[in-house]
């Protein structure tokens, strides 16, 4: 199943993996906790900074 979502607190509860896309291309994928801990892509870092919530 694919869920498009910007609420990381919700995503943390319902997904095993997360995919970050930019301009129609996957730029990063993996466990949400790993993304928050150490994203590898600059766009992922910016996205998470823009939408992150403290409830993760």
Q: What is the pLDDT of residues 2-43, one digit of tens each?
A: 777 777 778 778 888 888 888 999 999 988 778 778 888 888
Dihedral over Cα of 21, 10, 30, 34: its sign: positive
pTM of the model: 0.66
DSSP alpha helices (H): ranges in the chain?
Answer: 8-14, 32-37, 42-51
Q: How far is CA 29 from CA 22, 32, 42, 44, in A?
A: 12, 9, 13, 10
Cα gap 41→38, rounded to integer Å: 9
The pLDDT of residue 25 is 92
Q: Which residue has the higher pLDDT, 46 or 55?
A: 46
The pLDDT of residue 55 is 47
The pLDDT of residue 6 is 72
């Amino acid at each position: 199943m694919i869920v498009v979502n910007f609420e990381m607190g919700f995503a943390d509860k319902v997904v095993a993996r997360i995919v970050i896309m930019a301009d129609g291309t996957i730029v990063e994928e993996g466990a949400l906790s790993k993304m928050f801990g150490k994203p590898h892509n600059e766009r992922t870092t910016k996205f998470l900074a823009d939408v992150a919530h403290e409830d993760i």
